[in-house]
Amino acid sequence: LLAMAAHTPLPPNLRWGLAVFSSSLFINNKTWDSGAAHTYHPGTGSRAQWQRGWGGAHEVLASLPLQMMLYFNVYYFPVWCLAEGMMLQLKYHLLLWHYQFLLVTAFLILSLAEGSRLYLGYAGNLQEKVPELAGFLLLSFLIQLPLLLFLLTDSHVIRLPLEMAVHSLFLAFLVAEIVAAFLALKTMTKQLAAQFYLRQFKEGSRGRPGRGETAGQAAEEG
C-alpha cells in the first residue's frame, strides 16, 4: 500500500472538486488584510508542491493515529470479508428474497469500497494530499457507515453472533477513522491555505518596488 500511495489515479476534475469541498468546509476563503479579497484556489493538495515553491522544511501534517488505524484495518479487512462471506452463505436460504439481494449487494459494495477507501486513506495521509483524504472521508461517511449500520440494526438480516462481533469491530474502526481523518483534513487544509496566502504575500512584495527604489526613481525624474 505504501507503493500504491505513490500514485494518484483520481481524475483531475474529481481531485479538484474534493479539494474545493475541503477548503469550503474548513477555511475562510477570503482575506481582507490587504484591502482586497484574495480567493484561495486549492491545487492538488500535495505539500510537495509547496515545498518546491518555498524550498524549506514544513511541519509534518500526517496523522499518526489515523495511520495506525489504517494499518490495522488493512489486516482486519480480509478477516471481515471471510467471516461475513461464511455467515452470508449459512443464512442465505433463510432470508426473504429481497433481503437476499440486499445483503449480497451490501457485501459487494462494502468490499469494493473498502479497498478504495483504504487506498485513499493511505495516499491522503502519508503524502498529505487533501483531495485523497477528503475522498476517504466521504467514502467512510456516505457509503461504509450507512451500510454497516444497516447490517447491524436491521432485525430481518438474521444477525448471527460472529457477524455481530466482526461488524461491531469494523464499526469501531470506521468511526475512529472518520474522527481522525476529519481532524487531519482540517489541519492540512488550514496549513495549505496559510501557505497559499503567505506565498501570495511574498510574490506581491517582490512585485512592489521598495521605499528606497521609489525615492531614487523620483530623484532621477526630478
Sign (positive/negative) of CA torsion 172, 175, 181, 187? negative
Residue 20 Cα distances to 49, 60, 132, 188, angstroms: 17, 22, 12, 13
pLDDT score of 31 more than 50? no
Asked if residues 199 and 53 have their Cβ atoms less than 8 Å apart, the reply is: yes
pTM of the model: 0.68
Torsion of CA 187, 132, 16, 54, to 10 degrees: 50
Q: What is the DSSP string of 144-160?
A: IHHHHHHHHH-GGG---
pLDDT score of 6 more than 60? no
pLDDT score of 62 more than 50? yes
**What's the pLDDT at 4?**
40
pLDDT tens-digit series, residues 176-209: 999 999 999 888 888 877 777 777 777 777 666 5
pLDDT score of 169 more than 80? yes
Q: What is the DSSP string of 90-108?
A: HHGGGS-HHHHHHHHHHHH
- How does 185-220 read in b/e, with b if 16+ C-beta sit within 10 Å? bebbbebbbebbbeeeeeeeeeeeeeeeeeeeeeee
Domain boundaries, the chain: 4-42+62-202
- Phi and psi dihedrals of 20, rounded to 5? -65, -40
